[in-house]
């Protein structure tokens, strides 16, 4: 897998950056720099190409995921992330998954299939992955979701369903809904920054 790892501070958090459709492993670095400029960077490029646009898994049509490919890609990414975290000495308790759109959906799939590997997740504009499959106990996990009230790609109803599923799994959850669409806004980035500062206090 193609990736970037920038170790900026040995004691800082490390962010696993998962881009949206058509993005790359560096796309979310400017966002991260606003959230936590001292953080270590671990960006991974999606391996699937959809009309030349990078994604983390295939889809059959808009909003319809190829679930067999999703499972395969999720397990493959999970193995890769754990391998690189071991190689770079990253404590999984200090790893934050930050995913946007398709990357947020992959983040969700990671915690659905491998809930005990991760502890902190930020999902920007996620849909629902396998909405009829219940999450395991996520009481150890801190999760922040940001959504747009007028998002045409991830309707607000998707957010409501995902919130219900995660609450049922006992995740430590915060959901922020803004009067915006599918774009990442400065306001939501600042909301993530505040949440991280409250949930992940520095030593």
The residues carrying an active-site annotation are 101, 151, 182
First to last CA, the chain: 33
Long-range contacts of 71-77 (CB under 8 A, 24+ apart): 71/109, 71/113, 73/47, 73/48, 73/106, 74/106, 74/109, 74/110, 74/112, 74/113, 74/114, 75/113, 75/114, 76/1, 76/47, 77/1, 77/44, 77/106, 77/110
DSSP 93: G
CA 126, 69, 155: angle at the middle one, nearest 5? 20
Tokens representing 122 are 């930020």
């Amino acid at each position: 897998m193609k990736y970037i790892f920038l170790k900026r501070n040995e004691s800082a958090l490390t962010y696993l950056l998962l881009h949206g459709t058509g993005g790359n492993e560096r796309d979310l670095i400017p966002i991260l720099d606003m959230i936590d400029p001292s953080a270590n960077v671990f960006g991974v490029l999606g391996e699937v190409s959809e009309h030349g646009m990078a994604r983390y898994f295939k889809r059959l049509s808009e909003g319809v995921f190829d679930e067999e490919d999703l499972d395969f890609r999720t397990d493959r990414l999970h193995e890769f992330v754990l391998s690189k975290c071991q190689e770079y000495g990253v404590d999984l308790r200090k790893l934050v998954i930050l995913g946007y759109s398709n990357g947020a959906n992959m983040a969700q799939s990671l915690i659905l299939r491998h809930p005990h590997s991760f502890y902190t997740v930020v999902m920007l504009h996620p849909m629902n992955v396998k909405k009829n499959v219940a999450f395991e106990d996520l009481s150890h996990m801190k999760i922040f979701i940001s959504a747009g009230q007028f998002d045409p790609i991830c309707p607000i109803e998707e957010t409501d369903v995902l919130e219900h599923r995660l609450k049922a799994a006992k995740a430590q959850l915060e959901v922020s809904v803004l009067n915006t669409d599918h774009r990442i806004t400065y306001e939501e980035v600042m909301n993530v920054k505040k949440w991280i500062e409250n949930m992940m206090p520095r030593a």
